[in-house]
Amino acid sequence: MARVELYVYDLSHGMARTMSLPVVGRQIDGIWHTSVVVYGFEWYYGNGIKAELPGQTIMGIPHQKIDMGVTEIPEDIFFEYIEELRQIYTFDKYHLLDNNCNTFSNAACEFLVGKSIPSQITNLPHDFLQTPMGQMIRPYIDAMFNPRPPQ
């Protein structure tokens, strides 16, 4: 048995909460990056799946730590699962809105404890895309993360 924690970081360092309503037209409390802490490591997705000592990542100190519960999944089975996820969460498959650190953390938590991470984190891209600003910049985000091959 091992405790599972979700580390939540605000990439905007408070700016989203302050500026989102006038700029985006909707209150956004943070631009969330998440990781999963289990078996002595902090697991996250960015440039592939990484594992570092908890609190020692480039993200610094988490904005919030959420107790996700206790897992009954043995450590070696979790490591095997991570190896399977490495095929899905690669550098070239990262997408800011659709395949990101939060989708990775959600998959890991569902595997480990059978629970999803908070919906205000997983729904943030959808909520943002419902705003006029989100609809306006979606094509630019897609172009950055899904570039078209040269013709």
User: Of the listed 13, 63, 95, 101, which one is catalytic?
Assistant: 101
Q: Write the CA distances from 109 to 27, 35, 81, 117, integer angstroms.
A: 27, 10, 12, 7
- Between the two ends of the chain, the Cα-to-Cα distance in Å is 53
Question: Is 109 one of the catalytic residues?
Answer: no
**CA dihedral for 58, 41, 115, 7, sign (positive or negative):** negative
Question: Is 95 one of the catalytic residues?
Answer: no
Q: What is the DSSP string of 35-98?
A: EEEETTEEEEEESEEEEE-TT-STT-S-SEEEEEEEE-S-HHHHHHHHHHHTTTS-GGG-BTTT
User: Of the listed 13, 33, 95, 109, which one is catalytic?
Assistant: 33
Residues in the chain: 151
CA pair distance 13, 60, nearest whole angstrom: 11
Among all residues, which ones are annotated catalytic? 33, 101
